[in-house]
A and B are shown apart, each in its own frame.
Chain A
Amino acid sequence: MKIPKQFLSLLSLLALLLIWQGLAAYLNSHTLPTPLLVAQVFWQACLTGQLPYHLGVTLLRLVMSFSIAMLLGCALGIALGRQKQLDAFFDNWLVVFLNVPALVTIILCYVWFGLVESSAILAVVVNKLPNVIVTIREGTRALDQDLMDMAKSYRLSKRKVLFEVILPQLHPFIMGATRTGLALIWKIILVVELLGRSNGMGYQLHLFFQMFDVASILAYTLAFVGVIQLIELLILKPLDQRALGWRR
């Protein structure tokens, strides 16, 4: 018997909820609230406007730092992938920045540039940028030279070469950088907010931690995970389908 895929994933979600409910009921502890209680807290936080506000602030930071990191990373990645000398020069820089712990860049940004919004964004960008550059650089190195020669012999404009020949070939790499980027960035943003901002998810979670309010922590987390899932479902998946329609 073949069970439909959607049904299976729904079933697995339900199973997770049941396990959670069972465990919470069995332990009967303040530190593990039941799903029902978390849902109530979530609803309350929505009604007071607290959750939408802080979620919105964090999402705005996510969108800004993500866009900057992706645009800059793609441009630099393509440049390094195409220019061997440039790559040889900057390779060491990349290795250094790839290995600096996120916490260090965050602290340094706050120390050097103050506890302001721009240093928060900068800290996230600096953390994500080397990842994007490396991914896009590998993709650029794998570009099909035959197609590049075709473009050159027909004297295609730079704009056409970039948008019609290079970027479609880089699509899997860009999507890869996007997915890992989203996952990485929102985790870093929470730390950035926890250390130096007075709003956003990270700030709120820190507050709840000090009050041992686990129900609120879980409610905020679920809301955020839900939003990230929506981004995947409503933006990334359709992008994939549109760009890869030519495949058999």
Chain B
Amino acid sequence: MAAVSLVNINIAKKSFPAVSQASEHIAIADFKLTIRSNEFVCLVGPSGCGKTTLLNIIAGLDQDFDGQIVVGPSGTQPKIGYVFQNPRLLPWRTVRQNVELVLERDQNAELIDYLLKVMQLTQFQHVYPERLSLGMSRRVALIRAFAVNPDLLLMDEPFVSLDAPTARQVRESLLVLWQERPHTVLFVTHDLREAIALADRLVFLSAAPMGFVTEITVPIARDDRNNEQAIEAFRQQLLNDYPAIKQLL
């Protein structure tokens, strides 16, 4: 499972070709990052800086770039769970069927039951996505990503546009799951508080072309991540110590 997983990202250049009026757009330039297995890394950067592009490259959706991505030991086919910015559920499949879709035939029914319970969706498992609120749909997308027991979990601002209490609740469920069954997580956000509450390590990114600015290990104990004062205090300290970060938020 996830124990051997390790991600090596080395992108020399990723660009989008010129289209009519727009000239060539260099999205990522000279970006290197290594993620240890079972590490929770948050990528923090301004919107439009190329974070989604990076995740798409890692997920194998975009193969048009100069560089190399290695996930896990060579020769293995790593399992990736991807939580997109929008939930991307199939509207013609119920909540449970949407989760079952990404699993092999000998699917783990107990795991799905358990994930539904943690995300408080058990009673909605046979409902079609159109009847769900956005917060619920996002939780289904999380369940789907966890259900494949991924070596690497990619999350692209999965809580954006949720109201604060809902986002907090889903975030806590995510941490519960992650601590029970550790995965390597690459989590994209532009919300520094959210990043501090979740991550082992914060990686700050510059605006396009996206590049590495600095990285910071979050020293707050896992038990203390619900403590908003501790998070706020660390955030203030960060902003004081690294004034450059302010421009990235």
Contact = CB atoms under 8 A, between A and B. Distances in A.
Interface of A: 146-147, 149-150, 152-156, 160, 164-165, 168, 243, 246-248
Contacts of A246: 91-94, 128, 130
B48 interface: no
Contacts of A248: 130-131
B61 interface: yes
A154 B141 CA distance: 12
B130 A247 contact: yes
A156 B88 CA distance: 14
Interface stretch (B68-76, B79-87, B107-115): B79-87
B106 to A, nearest CB: 14
How many chain B residues sit at the interface, stated as a range, is 20 to 34
A147 B80 contact: no
A154 B92 contact: no
A153 B144 CA distance: 12
B148 interface: yes
Given A160-B101, A248-B130, A152 B61 contact: yes
The 3 closest A-B pairs by CB, nearest first: A154-B102, A246-B128, A153-B82
Contacts of A168: 90, 92
29 contacts: A146-B84, A146-B86, A149-B56, A149-B61, A149-B84, A150-B82, A150-B88, A152-B60, A153-B60, A153-B61, A153-B80, A153-B82, A154-B81, A154-B82, A154-B102, A154-B144, A154-B148, A155-B79, A155-B80, A156-B102, A160-B101, A164-B93, A164-B101, A165-B90, A243-B92, A246-B91, A246-B94, A246-B130, A248-B131
Contact of A147 (B61, B90, B144, B154): B90
Contacts of B86: 146
B59 interface: yes
A244 to B, nearest CB: 8
B176 to A, nearest CB: 23
A149 B83 CA distance: 11
A88 B187 CA distance: 41
Given A149-B61, A155-B77, 9 more contacts: A149-B88, A152-B60, A153-B59, A153-B60, A154-B82, A155-B80, A168-B90, A243-B92, A246-B128
A152 B58 CA distance: 12
Nearest to B97: A164
Contacts of A153: 59-61, 80, 82, 154
Contacts of B93: 164, 246
Contacts of B90: 147, 164-165, 168
A162 to B, nearest CB: 13
Interface of B: 56, 59-61, 77, 79-82, 84, 86, 88, 90-94, 101-102, 128, 130-131, 144, 148, 154
A142 B3 CA distance: 41
A156 B77 CA distance: 14
Nearest to A146: B88
Contacts of B130: 246-248
A150 B130 CA distance: 18
A13 to B, nearest CB: 36
Contacts of A152: 60-61
Interface centre among B59, B82, B92, B131 (most CB of A within 10 A): B92
A173 B130 CA distance: 21
Contacts of B77: 155
A99 B58 CA distance: 47
Nearest to A243: B92
B187 to A, nearest CB: 16
A84 to B, nearest CB: 15
B136 to A, nearest CB: 15
Nearest to B147: A154
Contacts of A150: 82, 84, 88
A154 B84 CA distance: 12
A76 to B, nearest CB: 24
B108 to A, nearest CB: 15
A160 B104 CA distance: 11
Contacts of B81: 154
Contacts of B82: 150, 153-154
